[in-house]
Amino acid sequence: MLSAFYRRDLTLPGGLTGEQAAAARASVTGGVQTGSQLPGHVGRQVVELARYAFTDSFHTTTLIAAVVMALGAVVALFTLRNVPAVLTERPEETAGPMPVQAA
């Protein structure tokens, strides 16, 4: 999911070949490597855009994960609301301590 958001968020400057654009869109590593191989301002711009796209896509993915976890917590709250707090597997555990007999 992170890769899909990265590709969506990455806006590359004009003047790149199709191969360079494909490498930059493949991953943030590809974007940084492609940018480092390009001369001057264009190279720095590609590196910066790749880093920003990765950061933005990471934030989006984290937000989605937080929403899914919150929904899971709400579902668990309503689903488990009538379940007893303590479940015992053996009946002797609920009987309490054994009585001590006087000598």
What is the pLDDT confidence band of residue 89, given thresholds at 50, 70 and 90?
low
Q: What is the pLDDT of residues 25-63, one digit of tens each?
A: 999 999 999 999 999 999 999 999 999 999 999 999 999
Q: Could you give the C-alpha distances from 4 to 19, 62, 98, in angstroms and in order?
A: 19, 14, 63
Distance CA 56, CA 21 (A): 19
Residue carrying structure tokens 């494909």: 22
How far apart CA 65 and CA 101 sit, in angstroms, is: 59
**Between 29 and 99, residue with greater pLDDT:** 29
pLDDT at 101: 73
Q: Distance between CA atoms of 30 and 43, rounded to whole angstroms?
A: 12
